[in-house]
Amino acid sequence: MVNITIDGMALRAEKGATVLQVARENGIDIPTLCYNESLGPEGRCRLCMVEVKKGNRTRLVTSCLYPVEEGLKVQTGTEKVLLTRKMILELLLARCPDSEVMQEMAMKMGVEKPRFKLDEGNLKCILCGLCVKTCEEAVGVSAIGLSYRGSHRKVGTPFVEPTMVCIGCGACHFICPTGAIKMTEENGIRRIWSRDFKLKACDVCGNFFAPEYQLEWMSKKSGVPLEFFHTCQNCRK
pLDDT in tens, 66-121: 999 999 999 999 999 999 999 999 999 888 888 889 889 988 888 888 888 888 77
The whole-angstrom separation of Cα 107 and Cα 113 is: 9
How many residues in the chain? 237
pLDDT, residue 150, reads 82
Q: Are 93 and 103 a contacting pair, CB within 8 Å? A: yes
Name the nearest CA neighbour of 85 among 18, 139, 30, 126.
Answer: 30
Let me know if domain 2-108 sits in CATH 3.40.50.2000. no
pLDDT, residue 58, reads 94
pLDDT, residue 95, reads 87
Residue 24 has pLDDT above 80, yes or no: yes
- 184-226 pLDDT, tens per residue? 999 999 999 999 999 999 999 999 999 999 999 999 999 999 9
pLDDT, residue 122, reads 67
Exposure b/e, 196-220, CB count within 10 A at least 16 = b: ebebbebeeeeebbbbbbbbebbbe
Annotated domain spans of the chain: 2-108, 130-230
- 127-153 pLDDT, tens per residue? 999 999 999 999 999 999 999 888 788
Name the nearest CA neighbour of 192 among 177, 203, 181, 200.
Answer: 181
pLDDT, residue 151, reads 75
Residue 122, burial from CB neighbour count under 10 angstroms (0-12, 13-18, 19+): exposed
